[in-house]
Amino acid sequence: MTLSETKEVVITMEKNDIGWNLENSYAELPGLFYTPIELGTVSAPKLVILNRLLAKDLGLDAEALRGPAGINILAGQALPANAKPIAQAYAGHQFGYFTMLGDGRAMLIGEQITPAGERFDIQLKGSGRTPYSRSGDGKAALGPMLREYIISEAMHYLGIPTSRSLAVVMTGDPVYREKTLKGAILTRVAASHIRVGTFEYAAQWGTTADVKTLADYTINRHFPWLQSEQNIYLGLLDEVIKAQAALIAKWQLVGFIHGVMNTDNVSISGETIDYGPCAFMNHYDPETVFSSIDLQGRYAYRNQPNIGLWNLARLAETLIPLVDENQQQALKLVEDSLRKFPSLYQADWLQGMRLKLGIANEGTEDEKLIAELLGLMKQYQADYTNTFVDLTLERTRDKTQSSELYESDAFKDWHDRWKARLERAGQTDQDIRKLMKQSNPVVIPRNHQVEKALLAANEQDDFKPLQQLLAVLQSPYNYNSLNQEYMTPPESSNSPYKTYCGT
Ligand code: AMP
Ligand code: MG
C-alpha cells in the first residue's frame, strides 16, 4: 500500500451519524505504551455479522453501521470522528517464557463512551501489520474471527465477564496459512486491553515511573475507589487477584478452557480476552486440553486456577517497587496478597457449585458431596453440562435418559445423599429448581456445533447456521424450550478435537 492510498482513505472521515463518541485516554499515556497506526485498505469489505444489541448499548446506530460508511470503519479503512488508531505495546510470558509482544494484528481506534457513561475499547483485530507484528502478516481469517465472535458472545450470555464482539467483516483479501483462507476483521469491544503483560512490558522496558503511570491509569479507569486507600498499588493487586479468582471460578463452573492463559492474555479488568484455541468441555475430565500447541497440558482445565495464580505473581513482581520503598516489606505484602488467591477462588467455585446443586446455604459436607459427583462423572465420562441439566430436571431416574452413570449404585447413593442435603437446607422444591435453572446452562457452544456453523460460513457463504447458533446461545438458561440439537454432545467428545491459535 502506498502513502497516497493511505491518505485518500483517511480523509474520507465519515459524518458522525453512526453514534461514535470516541475518546483516546490510552493514547495520552507516554509513547512507550503504543505506536500510532496508519490505516490500510481492503479489497472488498463485506459485513458478515453485526451485533445489534451490543451496538445499541454502545450508543451506535446498527442501521448506519451496516451502510458503506459504517462498514468502511469496521473494515479498518476509514475512521470515525476523534478516532486515533494505535497498536498497544505489551510483553508476556508465553508458556512460561518471557517475550516482547504487542498488538501484532490489531488496532485500537479509540474508546467509545456509551450513553450510560461507560468506556469501552474499540479494537479491530486482523487489521494489518503493526510495528509489533514480528514475522506475522497482521491478518486474521474468517473462521477464527467468527469463532471468537461466537464464544465471546456465548460467554457474555452465560454471565461471564468477557470482551464482546461487535462485528465481523470479510476483507475480500486472501490470508495465507496452511491453506489460502478468507481474510476478516473482528471488531472487539472490551473494558480495556490492559494486560498483565502490559505491566510486564512497562517493568522490563520502562522505568518505575512508567509502571506507576500505567498503574495510576489502570486504577483510575478500572478501580477508582482505590484512590482513597492507603496503599493503592497493593490495592490494585488485590483487586486483580479478586477479579481473576472470580473469573476463573466461573470458567470452571461452565467447563470453559481458555487454552492460552499466557500473561499477555490476562486482562487486568477481569474479563476473558483473546479467544484462541479455547473450547468447552464435553465429558468431564479435568485433564482436558484443546490447544494443539499445549503438549504439556500447562493450560488443561484442572490447571487453570494454578496458572491464574502464576500469572498474578508475574503482575505482583512488576508492582513491588510501587508497593513499598523497602523491597523486603513490599515482597512480604505482595506475597500475603497472592496467598489469598486459592481461598478466594475456592470460595467462589464452591459457592457456584452449591448453586448448581440447588443448595442455598453452606454446609461443611458440601465440598465432599461435590467432589464425589465430579469423581463419578469422570469415571463414567459423563457430559459435564448435561449431567447438571439432568439433575436440574430430575431426569437421572428417568428411563429415557438412562446412562451408565445414572444406573450405577454409586450414583444412586450419591443422589440420596444430595437429596438429604437439600432437605437439611429446608428449601422448597420450587426454590431449588429455580436456583438450579439459573446456574446450569442448557446450551454451551459445543465444538462440533461451532465448527458446523464455521464450515457453512466459510465454504458456502451460508451464515444461517451461525445466526441460529448465536440465537440459541443468547439464552443459555432458558429451560422453556429445550433444543435437543444444540444440547447433544458429539459422538466422541473432547479429545479428538483440537483448536488452533494465531491463525
Ligand atoms: P495470540 O496468540 O492471539 O494471543 O497472539 C500472540 C501474539 O502474536 C500477539 O502479539 C499477537 O498480536 C501476535 N499475532 C498473532 N497472529 C498474528 C499475525 N497474523 N500477524 C501478526 N501478529 C500476530
Ligand atoms: Mg493474545
Pocket of ligand 1 (CB under 6 A): 101-105, 132-133, 136-139, 260, 265, 274, 276, 501-502
pLDDT, tens digit (0-9, with 9 covering 90-100), for 66-83: 999 999 999 999 999 999
The 10s digit of each residue's pLDDT in 355-401 is 999 999 999 999 999 999 999 999 999 999 999 999 999 999 888 88
User: Is the pLDDT confidence value at 175 over 80?
Assistant: yes
Res. 500 pLDDT band, cuts 50 70 90: low
- Based on DSSP, count helices (H) and strands (E) in the chain, helices before strands: 19, 12
Give nearest CA residue, ligand 1 atom 8.
104
| Average confidence (pLDDT) over 326-342 | 98
Helix axes 327-339, 304-323, angle to 10 degrees: 150
User: Which ligand approaches the C-alpha of residue 277 most closely?
Assistant: 1
Share of the chain above pLDDT 90, in %: 91
Q: Grid coordinates standing for 251?
A: 470458567
Across 448-476, average pLDDT: 97
**The C-alpha cell that represents 363 in the structure block:** 454446609
Q: Are 119 and 108 in contact (CB under 8 A)?
A: no
**Per-residue pLDDT at 329:** 98
pLDDT at 16: 64
Ligand nearest to the CA of 105: 1
Res 296: pLDDT: 85
Bridging pattern class, strands 86-88 and 97-100: unpaired
Residue-wise pLDDT tens digits, 417-452? 999 999 999 999 999 999 999 999 999 999 999 999
Mean pLDDT (whole number) for 57-63: 97
Q: Which backbone phi and psi does 153 adopt, to 5 degrees?
A: -65, -40
- Which one of the listed residues 264, 285, 383, 390 is annotated catalytic? 264
Distance 154 CA to ligand 2 centre (A): 19
169: Cβ contacts below 8 Å, ≥ 6 apart: 42, 45, 46, 47, 48, 71, 74, 75, 184, 185, 187
C-alpha 74, offset from chain centre: 21
Q: Does 2 score more than 90 pLDDT?
A: no
* Ligand 1 atom with least separation from CA of 265: 4
* pTM for this model (two decimals): 0.95
How confident is the prediction for the chain on average, in pLDDT?
94
Q: Of ligand 1's atoms, which has the minimum distance to the CA of residue 135?
A: 21
**The pLDDT of residue 12:** 46
Distance 139 CA to ligand 1 centre (A): 9
User: Residue 340: pLDDT band by 50, 70, 90 thresholds?
Assistant: very high
Helix 366-379 vs helix 409-425: angle between axes, to the nearest 10 degrees?
Answer: 150
Checking if the pLDDT of 10 tops 70, the result is: no
What residues contact 418, with CB distance under 8 A and at least 6 apart?
A: 357, 369, 373, 391
Residue 379: alpha-carbon gap to chain centroid: 29
Amino acid found at 350: L
Return the C-alpha torsion angle 498, 262, 222, 108, nearest 10. -70
Residue 9 reports pLDDT greater than 50:
no
User: In the chain, where are the structural domains located?
Assistant: 4-193, 197-350, 360-439
Q: How far is the CA of 276 from the centre of ligand 1 (A)?
A: 10
Does the pLDDT value for residue 280 go beyond 90?
A: yes
Across the range 476-490, mean pLDDT stands at: 94
For residue 15, pLDDT over 90 is answered with no
Catalytic annotation present for 264: yes
- The answer to whether residue 492 scores a pLDDT higher than 80 is no
187-222, pLDDT tens digit by residue?
999 999 999 999 999 999 999 999 999 999 999 999
